[in-house]
Amino acid sequence: MFIIPAIVEAVVAIGTFFIGKNRPEDLGWNSSEEIFDEPVEKANVDAENLTKWEIFKKYLLTNPYIWVLCVANVFVYIVRIGIDNWAPLYVTEHLNFSQEAAAQTIFYFEMGALIGCLAWGYISDLLKGRPALVATVSTILLPIGIIGYQLGTTEFVINASLFMLGMMVFGPQLLINLSMLGFVPKKATVVSGGLLGAFAYLFGDSMAKILLAKISDPSKDGVNFFGHVLHGWNDTFIIFYISIVIIAILLGIVALAEERRRKQVKA
């Protein structure tokens, strides 16, 4: 189960290392701006003569929108991992579903994620590249799926809610990465993606696994949250709702900045 996929992945990775290229220019083509008839951004020109450390300081370390996106991604992972990891346990402990029904919950969540990634990316393209705005909209729709997941008692309602949650949560999951690319030059794309991923897994993933486990586990004392002790499965949903509000606010801030940047590029 682990070794065979790892071998396949290693073969693909090694092949891509030798075959893949980083830029159209590496294939002897024109730049992407020339191919798609887009303006050359000043940041890309300025970054050509800067070192990696200078790029990191100028475009990442002192860029407030990069940090806003990193924090937003932490809360996206709390919702995503909190559902993805704990759904089978939730439906067996709280709703007394069978092991077979519990295993199917992940299938519906991931199928929703697959369709959501394609749909939200397509919608962002239709809006001429507004990933933060589209991610904000998908985040605002998340509570519909959360309510169904929290209040549902049948397999149909739970699986339908998980399918919707997969669609909605993978809006910001996908588009936060794309939005970040609009705030850094091309030479900083790899390190910015690494920074985003580091925040997601060091903080978001670990909080979803440790914090939510501590809240939902009946044998634990729960978590004190501003004087209120969160304890039990229903209280885990409070964390989801709080996370959704934070994500929507932070992505809304970035969406406004995205619009200002688009106007500056056109000017």
For residue 139, give its domain range.
65-266
> Does the pLDDT at position 80 exceed 90?
yes
What confidence category does residue 267 fall into, taking pLDDT thresholds of 50, 70 and 90?
low
Please check whether residue 37 lies inside any domain of the structure: no
Please check whether residue 39 lies inside any domain of the structure: no
Q: What is the pLDDT of residues 192-206, one digit of tens each?
A: 888 888 888 888 888
What is the model's pTM? Answer: 0.85
Which CATH number characterizes residue 155's domain? 1.20.1250.20
> Does the pLDDT at position 131 exceed 90?
yes
Please check whether residue 178 lies inside any domain of the structure: yes
Angle at 26 between CA 24 and CA 31, to 5 degrees: 35
What confidence category does residue 136 fall into, taking pLDDT thresholds of 50, 70 and 90?
very high
Please check whether residue 31 lies inside any domain of the structure: no
Please check whether residue 85 lies inside any domain of the structure: yes
Please check whether residue 2 lies inside any domain of the structure: no
Q: How many domains does the chain have?
A: 1
195 near 66, Cβ under 8 Å? yes
Q: What is the pLDDT of residues 234-244, one digit of tens each?
A: 888 999 999 99
Tell me which residue of 266, 265, 267 sits closest to 44, measured CA to CA.
265
Alpha carbons 162 and 46: distance in angstroms, whole number: 45
Phi–psi pair at 23, nearest 5 degrees? -140, 155
